[in-house]
Amino acid sequence: MPQSVEHPSPADSEQACPIGPAVDIVFGRWTTPVLWTLDEYGRQRFVELRRRISTITPKVMTQRLRQLERDGLVRRTYHPEVPPRVEYEITDLGRSLAPLFSTLASWASGHLEQVEAARREFNEAGSGRSL
């Protein structure tokens, strides 16, 4: 008779890795480039953000901005003009992530070459290895 497998509850997972929920918020796809751009360049209109992050589609940019607004990391301001104008800016909560981004930028500049070398070494060893 097969034994039942216990799966950890979400609460157990958070205890095992207490930074998991923060990582989910901050490092979702496109979140970091949007927050970094707003922190670096200040208040931006949608089209300005798209110019600075040219590889993101308009649909995905809209979704990401809505999510960041919901999480309190970005503020959306609607100006009822003709034509209407919408601007996005990073909030104080979002700005509080700047030291984290700075630390990651330092890590990247000091370690990405090592990561690339490890990847090359792994790939040259062949794909016969199982993970």
Which CATH number covers residue 87?
A: 1.10.10.10
pLDDT exceeds cutoff 60 at 66: yes
pLDDT bucket at 2, cuts 50 / 70 / 90: low
108 in a structural domain: yes
103 in a structural domain: yes
Average pLDDT, integer, range 32-42: 93
Model pLDDT, residue 27: 84
61 in a structural domain: yes
63 in a structural domain: yes
> By C-alpha distance, which of 30, 25, 88 is closest to 59?
30
Reported as a single tens digit per residue, the pLDDT across 71-88 is 999 999 999 999 899 999
Average pLDDT, integer, range 36-63: 94
4 in a structural domain: no
> By C-alpha distance, which of 86, 88, 98, 87 is closest to 39?
98
> Which structural domain range is residue 98 located in?
14-124
pTM value > 0.85: no
Model pLDDT, residue 9: 60
Model pLDDT, residue 28: 83
Number of domains observed in the structure of the chain:
1
What mean pLDDT, rounded, does the chain reach?
Answer: 87
pLDDT exceeds cutoff 90 at 89: yes
Decide if 53 contacts 33 (C-beta within 8 A). Answer: yes
5 in a structural domain: no
Counting Cβ atoms within 10 Å, is residue 10 exposed (0-12), middle (13-18) or buried (19+)? exposed
Name the strands in the sheet holding 74-79, side by side, starting at the edge strand that comes first in the sequence: 44-45, 85-90, 74-79
